[in-house]
Amino acid sequence: MSPSRVTYAPVGFGDYHWTVTDEDGRPWFATVSDLEHKEHCGQGAQAALKGLRQAMDTALALRDRDGLRFVVAPVAATDGGGPVLPLDARYALTVFPHVPGRTGEFGQRLTEAERDRLLALLAELHGRTPPETTPPADMEPPGLPGVRAALAESEGPWSGGPFAEPARLLLREHEATLHARLAEFEALVARVKGRGAPLVVTHGEPHPGNLILGEEGYLLVDWDTVGLAPAERDLSLISDDPADLARYAELTGRTPDPDALALYRLRWSLLDVAEFVEWFRAEHQRTQDTESAWKGFTDTLGQLAAGGSAA
């Protein structure tokens, strides 16, 4: 593909996107992933690159092997190098077909009919044999030790950048809340693991912001977080009330576990906290991304304090 026109697309958070038109007039969507801000970031950029490659290979298998047309998968390089091209030690490029349709927004409330359509899609995904490349999705966010360390080191000044000291003070303000919610999370993990729920292929973030409504129904984008996990990893982003998930139970014969739903909703919030803490303790500047991260940090801690979660 030789691009004839490239336009920056200011969408998403953390990664960078462009719409690309090739020499034949075909549209594409290019993403440059920031490996330092992936969920594996606490394990290093190489681990994040490996995880991204596994995720994109899994999306390709789900679309091509299993024929799941709702999976918006990347295109593989013509040289056989796979769908992920490292640009340097921090960034990697992935190219997707451009998909026409109406995009949703994170935080958007789905109608009952829209929710049932999404649940039917997830039931189909969860029923597939996992591709060999599907990575495990750990229940426990990799950054939680960093949150505990930050709480233990919250007395001294932080000097990573303009949000370092405000982040330290905000963390101290919510110290009791975080300790309580971390203990709650550990108890939920123990209960859910003890029940031995089956692991299925989960998207990881099937919220409206990753949905496109096309001519043939919903399409799911952003498969970076695909992984083997209990089905509630996906279902928790739709509702925390099993009664709202009746369509899924009808299609699969499995009633979602309320403890697992609560676990993954709380996990989402704790993962956000872990990523924000790591970001603000490290060297950083005041940018549009860090401004958004600060708002996300304050909102998430406020929701945890109120007894809820960010999901």
Asked, for residue 17, whether it belongs to a domain, the answer is: yes
Cα→Cα distances 90→17, 33, 37, 45, Å:
16, 8, 10, 6
**Residue bearing the bigger pLDDT, 249 or 311:** 249
167 and 80 belong to one structural domain:
no
**pLDDT attached to residue 93:** 94
Among 76, 98, 120, the domain boundary falls at 98
Q: Which domain holds residue 22?
A: 3-98
Mean pLDDT of all residues in 66-94: 91
Residue 79 covered by a domain = yes
Do 150 and 276 share a domain, yes or no?
yes
Per-residue pLDDT band at 311 (split at 50, 70, 90)? low
Whole-prediction pTM value?
0.90
Is the domain of 183 the same as that of 62?
A: no
Highest mean predicted confidence (pLDDT) among 2-6, 53-57, 96-100: 53-57
Query: Which secondary-structure segment (H or E) carries 93?
Result: strand 91-97
- pLDDT over threshold 70, residue 310: no
pLDDT at 142: 81
Neighbour order of strands in the sheet with 217-220: 102-103, 211-214, 217-220
Residue 130 lies in a domain: no
Which of 98, 114, 131 marks a domain boundary? 98
Q: Tell whether 67 and 168 lie within a shared domain.
A: no
- Tell me 210's DSSP state: G
**68: domain CATH number?**
3.30.200.20
95: alpha, beta or left? (left if phi > 0; alpha if psi -120 to 50): beta
Residues 93 and 150 in one domain: no
Please report whether residue 59 resides in a domain: yes
Q: Is the pLDDT of residue 187 over 90?
A: yes
Identify whether 113 is part of a domain.
no
Count structural domains, the chain. Answer: 2
Residue 41 has pLDDT above 50, yes or no: no
Are both 34 and 181 inside the same structural domain?
Answer: no
Residues 6+ apart with CB under 8 A from 204: 137, 224, 225, 226, 227, 229, 233, 234
Domain boundary among 83, 98, 113: 98
Shared domain check, 45 and 176: no
- Assess whether 181 and 290 both reside in one domain: yes
Residue 58 has φ and ψ, to the nearest 5°, of -65, -45
In angstroms, the CA 311 to CA 306 distance is 14
Q: Is residue 156 part of a domain?
A: yes
Residues 159 and 296 placed together within one structural domain of the fold: yes
Q: Which residue has tokens 């789905």?
A: 110
73 shares its domain with 211: no
State pLDDT tens for residues 62-77.
999 999 999 999 999 8
Q: In terms of domains, do 46 and 174 share one?
A: no
In a shared domain, residues 163 and 248: yes
- Asked whether residue 50 is domain-assigned, the answer is yes
With 50 as the cut, is the pLDDT of residue 147 above it? Answer: yes
Q: Cβ distance 266 to 309 under 8 Å?
A: yes
* Residue 42 falls inside a structural domain: yes
Domain with residue 302: its CATH number is 3.90.1200
